[in-house]
Structure 1
Amino acid sequence: MCQMADIVFMALHGENGENGKLQAAFDLLGVKYTGSDYLSSAIAMNKGMAKQLFAILHREALP
């Protein structure tokens, strides 16, 4: 069904809508969607990984 749409409007909340899995599936299928790409979503949902990335980039992260 999503492959028939011009673009998918991402309006999901929770683990399955925010962890990047759905975005990765859309990328594999060539479906355009709104919001962050899969890697950005996955990093944002993993607090430890996000803090490591901020440290590497010499940026301050909130606790």
Structure 2
Amino acid sequence: KSKDERPLFPQILSSIELLQHSLPKINRSASEPSLHRASHTEDINAFTSTYSRLPVF
């Protein structure tokens, strides 16, 4: 499409906002973090300690 055929930003924004209001609201879970994540804390610590030694530019 040519530049003239494309919708203007305000038109796109209003379309997105209408869509956003029509979607169901997702509420944050109040449960504990997943067990899968908790079981891999050693892996996460090993990963972060490796990267904490890298030089910062």
Q: Same fold (TM over 0.5)?
A: no
From the two aligned structures, give the one with the greater helix fraction: 2
Structure possessing the higher radius of gyration over alpha carbons: 2
- Normalised by the length of structure 1, the TM-score is 0.30
Q: With a CA cutoff of 8 Å and minimum separation of 6, indicate the structure with the bigger relative contact order.
A: 1
- Normalised by the length of structure 2, the TM-score is 0.32
